[in-house]
Amino acid sequence: MTNVPDTLKYTKDHEWVLVEGSVATVGVTEFAQSELGEIVFVDVPAVGKTVSAGSSFCVLESTKAASDVYAPIGGTVSAANDALKDDPTKVNSDPYGAGWLCKLEGFQAAELDKLMTAADYKKHINA
Amino acid sequence: MKKTPLYETHQSLGGKIVTFAGWELPVQYQGVIPEHTATRTKAGLFDVSHMGEIFVTGPEAEQSLQYLTCNDVSKLYDGKALYSAILNERGGVVDDIIIYRYNKEKFLICVNASNADKDFAWFTKHNTFQAVYENQSASYGQIALQGSAAVSIVKKIPELASVAELAYFHFKEVQVAGATIIAARTGYTGEDGFEFFVPVACTVSFWNMLLEAGANEGLVPNGLGARDSLRLEACYPLHGHELGEDISALESGLGWVIKFDKGDFIGKAALQAEKTAGLKRGLAGFFVTDPGIVRENQPVFDAAGNQIGITTSGTKTPTIQKALGMALVHTSHTKEGSEIFIEVRGKKLRAEVVKKPFYKKPA
């Protein structure tokens, strides 16, 4: 059974969002990392970059392929997980914790409402 | 979509099935990295049943192959194999192949899965000799056993043990459980090993027999992902990447299998002219020195910003553990130490040309 924490929100493309006040932390789900295989390189976005919901803002590279990660909500990148430069496999081993990709600020609350709950995401990946 | 005889076996082994060259095959089982690593340290088992098998027979079988492929088939003797290529009139590569000589009037050709029908049609169209080409791809499955433990694994099976005596690029037929298996000391990984041509009715049992014999030797099934990362480390070309109908075989680095002194063959005139004029491009292997991964079809630039070529393959590979790749670039930048820049998602990554191959198996 793949782990899908109730405290997070999700997208159909397997990104998760943790909202803490005005900061949203973004990553990919355990299901996603399992599908991707071992990550060998992460192209994290630059701090200060503006992203719009649905646009590719990060690339996860496995041996076989490069996979786009899509911004679940729009905003400005206020922090990026530079630890992934030295150990990209954190995305595999701790996708909801140390494998976080970036933090966004300046997002619209209305966009959060469009995200899936854990229950909906669980249904989505069983489909 | 076509399925190999091992389709259900792959599913039961946890294989992640993808479509490749019109076939449904596993890209991986437990993961590209552990599979690749197992082949480099112990042994890997590969379902390569999608590859094609074409038999050539007749009094002019050798002459026909001499004309239709670029290497010197007359250098073969019974039981010997040869890497060669089918060229078009422009000197481009229709396919790269291995030719196995049974005797002067009987040869087996192993062709790429993606090109099997095309190659057979090409042979049929251009064969004007007293030779018959038969496409027997549907009758054969194919399994590759690769790695330093391959020899000790075959020695565990009494009916197969004698193949351990085969020298590199030699082959023989053996009888296993009443079926005729063609065993060759060839491979596409850069390791020692064998490629077995197995009748479709016996492919599953042959696979299971090898898997069981290799259980205590660290034998691991390898999917297409590991097959690609292994061949890339060894700098083996792949048709559709380093080789193609619109890429000169000389530019692709096949000069060593093009025998200009053997008599006429399709593509000879074009390549001779190119050789005389001097090659414009060459195939360079490189390490990426900026952070990032390079893949195929990415433009290559010189330090001044001029485009000088295009990448043909690339990834970060499990044994070398560096982002690396191959590229067709202007001869000004094919020498070891040349600095090139590869554009990935709008950003230029610095790379350095290195000597090929990236990986050579320990002596």
User: Tens digit of pLDDT for each residue in A4-45?
Assistant: 999 999 999 999 999 999 999 999 999 999 999 999 999 999
In sequence order, the 6+-apart residues with CB closer than 8 A to the CB of A111 are: A53, A72, A73, A74
Each residue's pLDDT tens digit, B248-305: 999 999 999 999 999 999 999 999 999 999 999 999 999 999 999 999 999 999 999 9
- Determine, yes or no, domain membership for B77: no
Contact A61 B293 (CB under 8 A): yes
- Determine, yes or no, domain membership for B336: yes
Here the ipTM equals: 0.91
Query: What domain range is B12 assigned to?
Result: 2-49+138-233
Contact B318 A63 (CB under 8 A): yes
Residues of A within 8 A of B32 (CB-CB) are 37-38, 62-64
Interface test with A, best of B315, B348, B349 (most A CBs within 10 A): B315
The 8-class DSSP code of residue A37 comes to -
Residue B332's CATH number: 2.40.30.110
- Determine, yes or no, domain membership for B264: no
The 8-class DSSP code of residue B147 comes to S
Residue A1 confidence (pLDDT):
76
Query: What domain range is A48 assigned to?
Result: 9-107
Contact A41 B293 (CB under 8 A): yes
- Determine, yes or no, domain membership for A39: yes
Residue A99's CATH number: 2.40.50.100
CB B93 within 8 A of CB B254: yes
Sign of the CA dihedral with B183 first, then B187, B192, and B193 last: negative
Each residue's pLDDT tens digit, B196-214: 999 999 999 999 999 999 9
- For A1-127, strand residue ranges (E) read 9-10, 15-20, 23-28, 39-43, 50-51, 56-62, 66-70, 75-80, 102-105
In sequence order, the 6+-apart residues with CB closer than 8 A to the CB of B96 are: B83, B84, B85, B86, B112, B237, B239, B243, B254
Q: Number of folded domains in chain A?
A: 1
Sign of the CA dihedral with B192 first, then B40, B149, and B25 last: negative
Q: Number of folded domains in chain B?
A: 2
Contact B323 A41 (CB under 8 A): yes
Final residue of a structural domain among B195, B210, B233 = B233
Residue B163's CATH number: 3.30.1360.120
Residue A127 confidence (pLDDT):
60
Distance from CA of B255 to the nearest CA of A (A): 30
Percent of chain B with pLDDT over 70: 100
In sequence order, the 6+-apart residues with CB closer than 8 A to the CB of A94 are: none
Each residue's pLDDT tens digit, B169-200: 999 999 999 999 999 999 999 999 999 999 99
Residues of chain B under the 70 pLDDT cut: none
**Do B21 and B161 belong together in one domain?**
yes
Please check the confidence at residue A84 and state whether its pLDDT lies above 70. yes
Interface test with B, best of A34, A56, A60, A64 (most B CBs within 10 A): A64
Look up the pTM and report it: 0.95
**Do B184 and B291 belong together in one domain?**
no
**Do B45 and B143 belong together in one domain?**
yes
The 8-class DSSP code of residue B243 comes to B
What Rg, from alpha-carbon coordinates, does chain A have? Answer: 13
In sequence order, the 6+-apart residues with CB closer than 8 A to the CB of A127 are: none
- Determine, yes or no, domain membership for B11: yes
> Judging by DSSP bridges, how do beta strands A15-20 and A9-10 pair with one another?
antiparallel
Residue B363 confidence (pLDDT):
83
**Do B152 and B229 belong together in one domain?**
yes
- Determine, yes or no, domain membership for A118: no
- Determine, yes or no, domain membership for B44: yes
**Do B227 and B287 belong together in one domain?**
no
Residues of A within 8 A of B228 (CB-CB) are 64
The pair of three-digit structure tokens given for residue B192, joined into one six-digit string: 């020692």
**Do B149 and B228 belong together in one domain?**
yes
Contact A63 B225 (CB under 8 A): yes
